[in-house]
A and B are shown apart, each in its own frame.
Chain A
Amino acid sequence: MTPISLPRPILLLAVVALALFPLAASTFYVQLGAKIMILAIFALSLDLLVGHSGMISFGHAAYFGVAAYALALISPKYEAANLWLTLPAAMGVSALAALIIGFFVVRTTGVYFIMVTLAFAQMLYAVFHDTKAGGGSDGIYIYVRPELALAGWKPLDLENPTQFYYLALIFLIVVYVFLNRVLQATFGRALAGIRLNEQRMRSIGFPVFAYKLGAFVLAGALAGLAGYLAACQFGFVNPDILAWQQSGIVLMMVILGGMGRLHGAVLGAFSYVVLQEALSAPPLVGAYAKHWQLALGGLIVLIVLSLPRGIGGLLDGTLRRKNRPGEIP
């Protein structure tokens, strides 16, 4: 059995380490850390489909990008948008897109599912790339970052990289804990059953379509959260954020980290970005830096071949808790 998460003490230790990181790191690394945590949320949302429900979506960047565009389009030009309003709105737009697209794609399985999710995502890409709706291929700038104000009180200033880092950390923790609960509740167990044996799930009475569509919409909304935060951080959106390359990268993170493990998605995002940064840094690799994609590709092939359960899978055996009778494995 695959443990979907790590024991609590280890998670707490990781949270403490992440919370202390900005005290020791320069602004560049704090920003990189925030970027990794945002991508970790994105990878967690995709793993809900790929690892936990058996739906290999190759168009997940669509929901990430749609929320990013939603923020860019509803932000006032020269003042800060309100996060409390724009975040739910952006996630809502992503969820709606996932509901509409999911209604069609969730009926398909296997390679057809991969192809149709890709096709829908590319259609959205074309909309933003070829029309002026979102600034065309040039994209849109978000000049002022959203504000986290509540009746005059401003707990975090998102213009400050360290404070933005903590916002990303809080959201990562919330998403992780939320998914951990959902996956052990009835909804998550039904998804696990569907992943293993869809036909039997039908014959014991589960409305499989509704469950899969529910998972698709939830994954879309969470990808929207990641997309919103990414747009906040970079202050810029362009059609590339919902192109198929982006869907491929997040799928790679999920596979690299080990599908079906919450910590795997986080480790996958971390490893991918760190490898990419290291292999493209001239001080580390000299003139090879401009060929980083070649080296990264080769390394990923090596890791996937030698660790079929991903990096997160390395922790399966050593950290597994003993299952008490009656406890869900």
Chain B
Amino acid sequence: MSEAILQARNLCKRFGGLAAVDDVSLQIQTGALHAVIGPNGAGKTTLLNLLSGDLPASSGTISYAGRNVTSWAPEKRSRLGVGRSYQITNIFFDFTVLENCRLAAQSRAPRPFQWWRNAASNETDLRRARYALDAVGLAPRAADLARTLSHGEQRQLEIAVCLATEPRLLLLDEPLAGMGAEESKVMIDLIARLAENHAILLIEHDMDAVFQLAKTLTVMATGRVLAAGTPEAIRANREVQSAYLGALE
């Protein structure tokens, strides 16, 4: 197994007196999908916000590809290969599907001073954008406005926007939320394919999907790590069963 691309040590995030993330450590390796599960309010999304840079950590360190990125802004982390998707669809609703991804691809080679060429004439960006749309199965809808897509398709576009930045590490926040069975299957297949050559942190409530995809698991409850390990070990863990898994079955 390769070396960890992302390492979080003793991460804390406090909002006033509330510790939303409390002393969480984890590492993510390429090719070994790492899932974070836990009941609502466990601090999963806050953890992801710390890793992506959307929120600054109160304490602890994050190192990515051997660099300490704890205080880095999200755009700087993105340019180094950190891509994230959001739990609540966070796309450019007034752009076409293709333009959503083209803009994401454009960020890989910023040319802010190329003021004379139409942005849509850049073949490299368009190729990256089309590749991302193909990957999630949205290519037929490339020319449609993002707001005209179905909920499931918008979730796919959410991932495609992230893929168009060609990330090495994907932070996926409930990619299956609100998807139908058929759409879920497409998405799970996609994540499984991506997991082969990307490092992925997955937050998901769909336990079937989680145990199908994850090589390692972290279980969170009230901001803390309750348990961590292989899917088999987590399944067998009594504490987890009573706190979380049992309640679902």
Question: A104 at interface (Cβ–Cβ under 8 A)?
Answer: no
**B15 at the A interface (CB under 8 A):** no
Interface check B218, CB cutoff 8 A: no
Give the residues in chain A near B184, CB-CB below 8 Å: none
Question: Which residues of A from 168 to 210 have beta carbons under 8 Å from B?
Answer: 181-182, 184-190, 192-193, 196-197, 199-208, 210
**A329 contacts across to B, CB distance below 8 A:** 95-96, 99, 145
Spot the interface stretch: B110-118, B188-196, B201-209, B228-236: B110-118
CB of B226 within 8 A of chain A? no
- Other-chain contact of B118, A185, A199, A202, A210 (Cβ < 8 Å): A185
CB under 8 Å from chain B, chain A span 289-329: 323, 325-329
B79 touches A197 (CB 8 A): no
Most buried by A among B79, B93, B115: B115
Contact of A203 among B74, B98, B112, B145 (CB under 8 A): B74
A205 touching B94 by the CB < 8 A rule? no
Contact A187 B78 (CB under 8 A): no
CB-nearest residue of chain B relative to A210? B112
Do residues A199 and B106 form an inter-chain contact, with CB atoms below 8 A?
no
Report the interface size class on chain B: 35 or more
B122-133: CB near A (< 8 Å → 1, else 0) gives 100010000000
Q: Which residues of A contact B145 (CB under 8 A)?
A: 1, 329
Does chain B have a CB within 8 A of A143?
no
Cβ contact within 8 Å between A202 and B75:
yes
B44 at the interface (CB under 8 A from A): no
Contact of B94 among A196, A211, A323 (CB under 8 A): A196
A214 close to B (CB within 8 Å): yes
A188 to B118, CA, bound (A): 10
List the B side residues contacting A203 at CB < 8 Å: 52, 54, 74-75, 78, 84, 90
Query: Number of residues in A with C-beta < 8 Å to the partner?
Result: 33
**Is B161 touching A200 in the complex (CB atoms < 8 A)?**
yes
Task: Mark each residue of chain A from 56 to 71: 1 if its CB lies under 8 Å from any CB of chain B, else 0.
Answer: 0000000000000000
User: What are the residues of chain B within 8 A of A327 when measuring CB–CB?
Assistant: 120
Closest chain-A Cβ to B228's Cβ sits at a distance in Å of 26
**Contacts A325-B142, A328-B118; A214 near B112 (Cβ below 8 A):** yes
Q: Report A193 CB to chain B, min CB distance, Å.
A: 5
B200 contact set on A, CB distance < 8 A? none
Within 8 A of A (CB), among B112-159: 112-120, 122, 126, 142-143, 145
Q: Which residues of B contact A192 (CB under 8 A)?
A: 95
Give min CB distance, B72 to chain A, whole Å: 11
| B73 at interface by CB-CB < 8 Å | yes
User: Roughly how many angstroms separate A190 CA and B108 CA in the complex, as a whole number?
Assistant: 12
- The reply to whether A206 and B96 contact each other, CB–CB distance below 8 Å, is no
Contact between A328 and B112, CB atoms less than 8 A apart: no
Given A185-B117, A326-B98, the answer on whether A200 and B91 have CB atoms closer than 8 Å is yes
Q: How far is the CA of A211 from the CA of B122 in the complex (A)?
A: 20
B87 on interface, CB distance cutoff 8 Å: no
A225 to B113, CA, bound (A): 21
Once the chains bind, are A186 and B106 in contact (CB under 8 Å)?
yes
Sample (6) of A-B pairs whose CB atoms are under 8 Å apart: A185-B118, A186-B122, A192-B95, A200-B86, A201-B75, A325-B143
Where the two chains meet, the residues of A that have a C-beta atom closer than 8 Å to any C-beta of B are 1, 181-182, 184-190, 192-193, 196-197, 199-208, 210-211, 214, 323, 325-329
Closest 6 CB pairs of A and B: A205-B78, A205-B107, A328-B120, A204-B104, A189-B119, A205-B79
